[in-house]
Structure formats: C-alpha cells, structure tokens
Amino acid sequence: AQSVTQLGSHVSVSEGALVLLRCNYSSSVPPYLFWYVQYPNQGLQLLLKYTSAATLVKGINGFEAEFKKSETSFHLTKPSAHMSDAAEYFCAVSRGGGADGLTFGKGTHLIIQP
C-alpha cells in the first residue's frame, strides 16, 4: 500500500521568499513521485516528477524537488516566490507498473503575501 503525507495544509510566504512544501511518502516498491499544482476551478497541472533517474528534479515555473530515499521525502522548493504561485499543491505517489493510479496527499494551500 502507498500513502502520502503533506505537512501543513496552509503555507504562507512573502513574495520573493523561499517556498518549501513538504511531502513524505510510504511505498512498498520503488516509487514514482509527482508534484501537481491546481489553480481554482481548474484541473491539475504537472510541476515535476521523479522516476528513478536523477534525485534532484527540476520542473516548470522554477520549482524543483529532491528525492531522499533515507528520509522517504520529496519536498518541493522554489528560491523566490511569485504572486502567481498562489495555488493548491499536491504530492502524489505511484507504484508504476500496469496499475499506476496516483495516491495523492491532502494538499497544501500556498499563500503569497505581498
């Protein structure tokens, strides 16, 4: 069985400050890990994914995440927050293989203070 825990349902940062959204996973097999962003009344958009290649993954809009097997973590970071980053962020895990539906965390709402 797989699970994802996102620490902090709401995270508030100032514009220009570092963004850090935390994600810990549990998986019985080597996982595939994803970060998705959801803007109001829209579907989910992929930010980045880890599929057992490089442990530091770069995504769109300046986001990146580092896979740390020893800590079972896949935290999302961005050096400098922009007002347009305000959205809901979801971490997800998949076991790969044929049945690879995603198991999502509960999400973190990112608030950017001017």
Partner 1 sequence: EAGVAQSPRYKIIEKRQSVAFWCNPISGHATLYWYQQILGQGPKLLIQFQNNGVVDDSQLPKDRFSAERLKGVDSTLKIQPAKLEDSAVYLCASSLESGGATQYFGPGTRLTVL
Residue 19 or 48 with smaller CB distance to partner 1 = 48
In whole angstroms, the minimum distance from the beta carbon of 21 to partner 1 comes to 13
- Give phi and psi for 60, each to the nearest 5: -85, 165
Tokens read off for 23: 């994600």
Question: Would you call 16 helix, strand, or coil by DSSP?
Answer: coil
In whole angstroms, the minimum distance from the beta carbon of 105 to partner 1 comes to 5
**Length of the chain (residues):** 114
In whole angstroms, the minimum distance from the beta carbon of 84 to partner 1 comes to 19
In whole angstroms, the minimum distance from the beta carbon of 63 to partner 1 comes to 15
Burial of 107 (0-12, 13-18, 19+ CB in 10 A): middle
How far is Cα 98 from Cα 73, in angstroms, rounded to an integer?
A: 24
Q: Name the residues that contact partner 1, by CB under 8 A.
A: 4, 32, 36, 41-46, 49, 51, 90, 92, 94, 96-107
Residue 3 or 14 with smaller CB distance to partner 1 = 3
Residue 1 or 83 with smaller CB distance to partner 1 = 1
In this structure, the strands spanning 19-26 and 32-38 are unpaired
